[in-house]
Amino acid sequence: MSGEGRPQVRAPHAPNLRLAIVAIRWHTEIAERMLRRALDAAEEAGIAEPRVVRVPGSMELPVVSQQLTHDHDAVVALGVVIRGGTPHFEYVCESVTSGLGRVALDEATAVGNGVLTVDTRQQAVERAGFADSVEDKGFEATAAALDTALVLSELRGDYSNERGFL
């Protein structure tokens, strides 16, 4: 896990964007912390009521994210995949990552990938935005999705003001 070169992450001022957050039910403590930090980013951006949807696991994130792109400007997918003793880890990680990328491209909508793909539970904790974590993927994925949604709005001519950050 290298955070080298990462800029300070702030949520953009985006009170008019419609945001959805999809979170898994597995790895409850970690997923809940990531969701809390994603909601903190939404609040910092001025979004009063982001939609929160729960799914069984990470494999379900792409299809639900795709459905949510139909009436949201940005979607954030939050999940945790921890390596086990079988090749299942690689299959799940590849499917989820490719699926979320495909959704973003097919729907031309900002999709924040907040799926942790780690070897150990401790690595997930270190990236989940706890007080002693070195990374904050729930917040970062949300801020990136909102910033991207603003860029897309500008490119489409929907948003004439310069992007501002709080």
Torsion of CA 80, 84, 88, 92, to 10 degrees: 10
60 annotated among ligand-binding-site residues: yes
1 annotated among ligand-binding-site residues: no
80 annotated among ligand-binding-site residues: yes
> Of these residues, 13, 27, 70, 88, which one is catalytic?
88
Active site residue 88: yes
**Residue 24 belongs to what H/E stretch?**
strand 19-24
Cα–Cα distance for residue pair 147/151, rounded to 1 Å: 6
47 annotated among ligand-binding-site residues: no
81 annotated among ligand-binding-site residues: yes
Please state whether beta strands 74-82 and 51-55 pair in parallel, antiparallel, or not at all (unpaired): unpaired
Note whether 72 and 51 are within 8 A (CB).
Answer: yes
96 annotated among ligand-binding-site residues: no
26 annotated among ligand-binding-site residues: yes
DSSP string over 93-123: HHHHHHHHHHHHHHHT-EEEEEEEEESSHHH
Note whether 77 and 114 are within 8 A (CB).
Answer: yes
113 annotated among ligand-binding-site residues: yes
Residues annotated in the binding site for 5-amino-6-(D-ribitylamino)uracil, as ranges? 26, 58-60, 80-82, 113
Residues annotated in the binding site for (2S)-2-hydroxy-3-oxobutyl phosphate, as ranges? 85-86, 127
Residues annotated in the binding site, as ranges? 26, 58-60, 80-82, 85-86, 113, 127
Task: Give catalytic residue positions.
Answer: 88
